[in-house]
C-alpha cells in the first residue's frame, strides 16, 4: 500500500527492527565480548573489556576461556555428546515419524483433521510437563518396572531413568511432532499417479518406496530433520530431568557453568562455540533447500 | 493395480503405536493426578485431594499469576511488533537492512534457549550497571518472551499476507477508501486468523518457557514453570500431576476456542 506514507512505512519496519537489534543482535555481541573477559569476584562477575589505564584506553581481551574449553575434554565430550544424541534422535524420529505421517496422509476427511490436530496438540502443552510425565513411568519403582515385574518378565527393576536411555527416549518423545508435520506436508503433496504408474510398470512396494516416494519426500525429510536436530543439540530440560551423571550435553554444561560455577565468561565462551557449531548444519541445510528449490 | 488411498493394517499399526507413544505418558499423568495415594506409582483409589492441596499451595498460585501476567503482556507486545514485522517483510520488497531484518526475525527460532537467555541476561546486567535500569523480574521476562514471540507472529502474518488477494485492497483504494480504512476494514480482517493464532502461540510459548525466564529473572519474580521445575527436580509430586492436568485442560480449551474461531472466520469468508 503506497498510501501509508513514509512515516507509516518507517514505523512498520523501524519499530520491530529496533526491538530485535536491541534484544537479539546486541545481546549476541555482548556474549562475544564477555567471552573475551576474565572472571572476577564482584557485580558483574567479569572484568571490563576496556579499561582506562593512566589516561589511555586499553583493551583487556583474553582467549583464556576458549583455551580452557579446548583444553578440558569435558567440553569436547559434551559437544560430541549433544551432537550424537541429537543425530540419534533425528534418526529415531524419522523411523517412527515416517510411517505415522504416511498413514495420516492416506487418511480421509475428518479423520485426517483429527489426527493432524492430535499431532499439533503437544506443541500447545507444556514441554516441561511432557518430559516430567516420563519420570513416573521410568522410575525404579515406576509404572513400567512395576508392570514388567507383575507380568513376571523381569525379576528386579531395570535401570530405566537417569541414564542415556531415558535421555534418548525423552528427546525422541519431545521432538517427534516436529518431524511428523513436515513429513506429512511432503507426503500429502505427493502425486499419487506416480506411485500408481510405478506399480503398473511392475515395481514391488519396496522398490516403489525407495525409488519414487522417498526421493520425492526428501524436502520434508530435510525440513523435519532440521527441526529436530537443531533444538535437540541445545536441549537443557531433558538431560537435566531424565539424565544421569554420565549424561553430557552442552546445554546443561552451559547452564551449570552459569548457575552453579557462576563463571559467566566461560559460559559465554561455550555459547559462542555452540552458535558456531550450530551454524554449520543450518547453512548446509539452507544450501540443500535452495538447491531443491532451484531444481 | 490401482490401490485406493486407504490406510492399510500397517498404517493402522503405525498410527496406534505412534499416537500411543505420544499420548500414553500424558494419559497416565492425568489418571494419577486423581490418585488418593501419596506414593505416585501406587494406585490408592480415586480422589481429588491433590486438587484441594493445590488450592492451598500459595507458591504455585503466585507463580501462576506471574506467568499469566507475563504471558498476556509479552503476547500482546509480540502481536503488535510481529504484525509490523510480518507486514514489512511481505509488502516491502526492498529497504535498507532487509537482509539483516529477515535474519533477525528467523534466527531466534534456531538459536538454543540457553543462548537466548544468557545473552539477554548479560544485556540486562550491563544496562543495570550503566543506567540503573531495568532491574530483573517480570519486566525483563516480558521483554525476553516478546523477543521470540515476535518471530513466531511475523512468520504467521507473513505467510498469511503472501496468500492474501491484494486486488481487494486496490479495489477499495480505487473506490476512494482512505489507506487507514483499507487497513482496518480489509487487510486486518483478512489476516485475523494469523493474528489470533500468533497471539495464542506467543502466549502459550511464554507460559511454557523455563530456560529463558530462569536466566533473565531476578529474586522478585518466579514463573510457574520455574516453580514446577524446582519441585520436580526432587522427583514425582502428586500436586504437580494435578497442576499439569489443569494446565492441559486449560490449553485444550484455548486450542478448541481458537479452532472454533478460525472455522467460523473461514465459513464467513466463504459466504461473503
pLDDT digits (tens, 9 = 90+) for B151-194: 999 999 998 888 888 888 889 989 988 888 888 888 888 888 88
Asked if residue A181 has pLDDT above 90, the reply is: yes
What are the chain A neighbours of B232 within 8 Å (beta carbons)? 128, 132, 135, 241
Query: Mean pLDDT, to the nearest integer, of A78-83?
Result: 90
Percent pLDDT > 90 in chain B is: 39
Confidence of residue A294 (pLDDT cuts 50, 70, 90): low
Confidence of residue B4 (pLDDT cuts 50, 70, 90): very low
ipTM for the predicted complex comes to 0.85
pLDDT at B1: 37
Query: Mean pLDDT, to the nearest integer, of B204-227?
Result: 92
Tens of pLDDT, residue by residue over A238-263, are 999 999 888 889 999 999 888 888 88
Asked if residue A165 has pLDDT above 90, the reply is: yes
For chain A, domains (ranges, CATH) are 72-262 (1.10.3720.10)
Residues B213 and B81 in one domain: yes
Residues B135 and B42 in one domain: no
A-to-B residue pairs, Cβ atoms closer than 8 angstroms? 244
Q: Which of A103, A122, A237 is nearest residue B7 as measured by Cβ atoms?
A: A103
Tens of pLDDT, residue by residue over B112-142, are 899 999 999 999 988 888 887 788 889 999 9
In angstroms, the Cα distances linking A48 to A31, A169, B126, B235 are 13, 43, 11, 41
Residues B66 and B187 in one domain: yes
Other CB atoms within a 10 A radius of the CB of residue B99 amount to: 8
Tens of pLDDT, residue by residue over B36-45, are 887 766 788 8
Tens of pLDDT, residue by residue over A197-210, are 998 998 888 888 89
For residue B1, being part of any structural domain is answered with no
Rounded CA gap, B72 and B204, in Å? Answer: 9
pLDDT at A41: 66
Asked if residue A184 has pLDDT above 90, the reply is: yes
What are the chain A neighbours of B208 within 8 Å (beta carbons)? 126-128
- Expressed as residue numbers, the domain containing B37 is 6-47
What are the chain A neighbours of B246 within 8 Å (beta carbons)? none
CA A43 to chain B, closest CA, distance in angstroms equals 9
pLDDT at B85: 94
Q: Which of A12, A24, A26 is nearest residue B84 as measured by Cβ atoms?
A: A12
Residues B153 and B39 in one domain: no
In angstroms, the Cα distances linking A66 to A28, A70, A260, B63, B121 are 17, 6, 19, 38, 21
pLDDT at A101: 95
Tens of pLDDT, residue by residue over B246-262, are 988 887 887 788 778 77
Residues B74 and B175 in one domain: yes
Asked if residue B200 has pLDDT above 90, the reply is: no
For residue B243, being part of any structural domain is answered with yes
Which residues are CB-contacts of A218 (< 8 A; sequence separation ≥ 6)? Answer: A186, A292
Confidence of residue A22 (pLDDT cuts 50, 70, 90): very high
Percent pLDDT > 70 in chain A is: 91
Residue B227: CATH number of its domain: 1.10.3720.10
Rounded CA gap, A221 and A225, in Å? Answer: 6
Residues B100 and B159 in one domain: yes
Residues B63 and B13 in one domain: no
Q: Do B114 and A271 touch (CB under 8 A)?
A: yes
In angstroms, the Cα distances linking A75 to A70, A86, A242, B112, B255 are 7, 16, 20, 17, 41
Residues B40 and B105 in one domain: no
Query: Mean pLDDT, to the nearest integer, of B19-44?
Result: 86
Look at A87 and A5; give whichever has higher pLDDT. Answer: A87
CA B114 to chain A, closest CA, distance in angstroms equals 6
Query: Mean pLDDT, to the nearest integer, of A58-83?
Result: 84
Residues B78 and B10 in one domain: no
Q: Of A25, A251, A154, which Cα lies nearest the Cα of B108?
A: A25
pLDDT at B2: 39
Asked if residue B209 has pLDDT above 90, the reply is: yes
Instruction: Decide: helix, strand or coil at residue B37.
Output: coil
When mean pLDDT is compared across A30-39, A136-145, A279-288, B242-251, the lowest value belongs to A279-288
| Number of domains composing chain B | 2
Residues B181 and B237 in one domain: yes
Tens of pLDDT, residue by residue over A107-159, are 888 888 889 988 988 877 888 999 999 998 998 888 898 889 989 888 888 88
Residue of chain A with shortest Cα separation from B142: A23
Interface with A, mutate which of B104, B118, B140, B246 (most A CBs under 10 A): B118
Which residues 124-153 of A are in CB contact (within 8 Å) with B?
A: 124-130, 132-137, 139, 141-143, 146
Asked if residue A39 has pLDDT above 80, the reply is: no
Percent pLDDT > 70 in chain B is: 96
Q: Is B15 left (phi over 0), alpha (psi -120 to 50) or beta?
A: alpha
Residue of chain A with shortest Cα separation from B84: A12
Asked if residue A71 has pLDDT above 90, the reply is: no
Which residues 30-59 of A are in CB contact (within 8 Å) with B?
A: 30-31, 34, 44
Asked if residue A49 has pLDDT above 80, the reply is: no
Mean pLDDT over each residue of chain A, to the nearest integer: 86
Residues B24 and B149 in one domain: no
Confidence of residue A51 (pLDDT cuts 50, 70, 90): low
Interface with B, mutate which of A19, A173, A198 (most B CBs under 10 A): A19
Residue of chain A with shortest Cα separation from B202: A124
What are the chain A neighbours of B114 within 8 Å (beta carbons)? 234, 236, 251, 254-255, 271
Q: Which of B41, B146, B207 is nearest residue A136 as measured by Cβ atoms?
A: B41
pLDDT at A240: 93
Asked if residue A219 has pLDDT above 90, the reply is: no
What are the chain B neighbours of A15 within 8 Å (beta carbons)? 81, 84
Identify the H or E element spanning A53: strand A50-53
E-strand ranges in A54-168 read 56-59
Q: Of A186, A181, A179, which Cα lies nearest the Cα of A219?
A: A186
Look at A293 and A45; give whichever has higher pLDDT. Answer: A45
For residue B184, being part of any structural domain is answered with yes
Residues B134 and B193 in one domain: yes
Mean pLDDT over each residue of chain B, to the nearest integer: 87
Query: Mean pLDDT, to the nearest integer, of B24-45?
Result: 84
CA B157 to chain A, closest CA, distance in angstroms equals 13
pLDDT at A280: 74
Q: What is the distance of C-alpha B65 from the center of its chain?
A: 17
Look at A288 and B90; give whichever has higher pLDDT. Answer: B90
Q: What single DSSP character describes residue A51?
A: E
For residue B87, being part of any structural domain is answered with yes
pLDDT at B259: 75
What are the chain A neighbours of B165 within 8 Å (beta carbons)? none
Give the global pTM: 0.87
Residue of chain B with shortest Cα separation from A143: B41
What are the chain B neighbours of A135 within 8 Å (beta carbons)? 232, 235-236
Residue of chain A with shortest Cα separation from B226: A128
Grid cell of A216 as nine digits: 520425492
Amino acid at each position: 500500500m503506497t498510501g501509508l506514507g513514509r512515516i507509516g512505512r518507517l514505523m512498520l519496519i523501524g519499530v520491530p527492527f529496533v526491538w530485535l537489534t536491541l534484544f537479539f543482535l546486541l545481546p549476541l555481541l555482548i556474549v562475544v565480548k564477555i567471552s573475551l573477559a576474565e572472571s572476577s569476584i564482584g557485580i558483574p562477575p567479569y572484568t571490563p573489556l576496556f579499561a582506562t589505564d593512566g589516561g589511555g584506553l586499553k583493551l583487556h581481551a583474553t582467549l583464556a576461556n576458549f583455551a580452557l574449553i579446548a583444553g578440558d575434554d569435558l567440553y569436547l565430550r559434551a559437544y560430541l555428546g549433544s551432537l550424537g544424541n541429537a543425530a540419534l534422535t533425528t534418526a529415531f524420529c524419522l523411523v517412527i515419524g515416517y510411517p505415522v505421517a504416511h498413514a495420516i496422509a492416506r487418511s480421509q476427511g475428518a479423520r485426517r483433521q483429527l489426527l493432524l490436530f492430535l499431532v499439533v496438540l503437544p506443541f500447545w502443552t507444556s514441554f516441561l510437563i511432557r518430559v516430567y510425565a516420563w519420570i513416573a513411568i521410568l522410575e525404579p519403582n515406576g509404572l513400567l518396572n512395576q508392570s514388567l515385574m507383575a507380568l513376571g518378565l523381569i525379576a528386579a527393576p531395570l535401570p530405566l531413568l537417569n541414564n542415556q536411555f531415558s535421555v534418548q527416549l525423552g528427546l525422541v518423545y519431545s521432538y517427534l511432532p516436529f518431524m511428523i508435520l513436515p513429513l506429512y506436508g511432503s507426503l500429502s503433496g505427493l502425486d499419487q499417479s506416480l506411485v500408481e504408474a510405478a506399480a503398473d510398470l511392475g515395481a514391488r512396494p519396496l522398490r516403489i518406496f525407495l525409488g519414487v516416494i522417498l526421493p520425492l519426500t526428501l524436502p520434508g525429510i530435510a525440513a523435519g530433520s532440521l527441526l529436530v536436530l537443531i533444538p535437540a543439540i541445545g536441549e537443557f530440560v531433558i538431560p537435566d530431568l531424565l539424565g544421569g551423571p554420565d549424561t553430557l550435553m552442552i546445554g546443561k554444561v552451559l547452564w551449570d557453568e552459569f548457575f552453579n560455577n557462576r563463571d559467566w565468561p566461560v559460559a559465554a565462551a561455550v555459547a559462542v562455540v555452540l552458535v558456531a557449531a550450530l551454524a554449520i548444519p543450518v547453512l548446509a541445510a539452507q544450501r540443500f533447500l535452495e538447491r531443491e528449490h532451484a531444481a | 493395480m490401482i490401490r485406493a488411498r486407504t490406510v492399510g493394517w500397517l498404517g493402522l499399526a503405525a498410527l496406534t503405536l505412534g499416537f500411543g507413544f505420544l499420548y500414553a505418558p500424558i494419559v497416565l499423568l492425568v489418571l494419577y493426578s486423581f490418585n488418593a495415594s501419596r506414593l505416585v506409582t501406587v494406585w490408592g483409589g480415586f480422589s481429588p485431594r491433590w486438587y484441594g492441596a493445590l488450592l492451598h499451595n500459595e507458591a504455585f498460585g503466585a507463580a501462576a499469576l506471574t506467568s499469566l501476567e507475563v504471558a498476556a503482556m509479552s503476547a500482546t507486545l509480540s502481536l503488535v511488533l510481529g504484525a509490523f514485522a510480518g507486514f514489512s517483510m511481505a509488502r516491502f520488497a526492498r529497504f535498507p537492512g532487509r537482509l539483516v531484518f529477515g535474519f533477525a526475525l528467523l534466527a531466534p527460532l534456531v538459536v538454543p534457549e540457553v543462548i537466548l537467555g544468557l545473552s539477554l541476561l548479560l544485556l540486562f546486567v550491563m544496562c543495570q550497571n550503566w543506567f540503573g535500569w531495568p532491574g530483573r523480574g517480570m519486566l525483563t521476562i516480558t521483554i525476553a518472551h516478546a523477543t521470540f514471540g515476535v518471530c513466531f507472529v511475523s512468520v504467521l502474518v507473513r505467510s498469511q499476507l503472501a496468500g492474501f488477494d491484494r486486488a481487494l485492497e486496490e479495489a477499495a483504494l480505487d473506490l476512494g477508501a482512505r489507506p487507514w480504512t483499507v487497513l482496518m476494514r480489509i487487510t486486518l480482517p483478512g489476516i485475523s486468523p494469523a493474528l489470533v493464532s500468533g497471539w495464542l502461540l506467543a502466549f502459550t510459548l511464554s507460559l511454557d518457557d523455563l530456560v529463558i525466564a530462569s536466566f533473565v529473572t531476578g529474586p522478585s519474580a518466579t514463573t510457574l514453570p520455574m516453580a514446577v521445575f524446582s519441585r520436580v527436580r526432587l522427583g514425582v509430586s502428586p500436586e504437580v500431576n494435578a497442576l499439569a492436568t489443569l494446565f492441559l485442560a486449560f490449553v485444550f480449551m484455548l486450542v478448541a476456542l481458537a479452532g472454533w474461531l478460525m472455522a467460523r472466520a473461514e465459513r464467513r469468508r466463504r459466504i461473503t
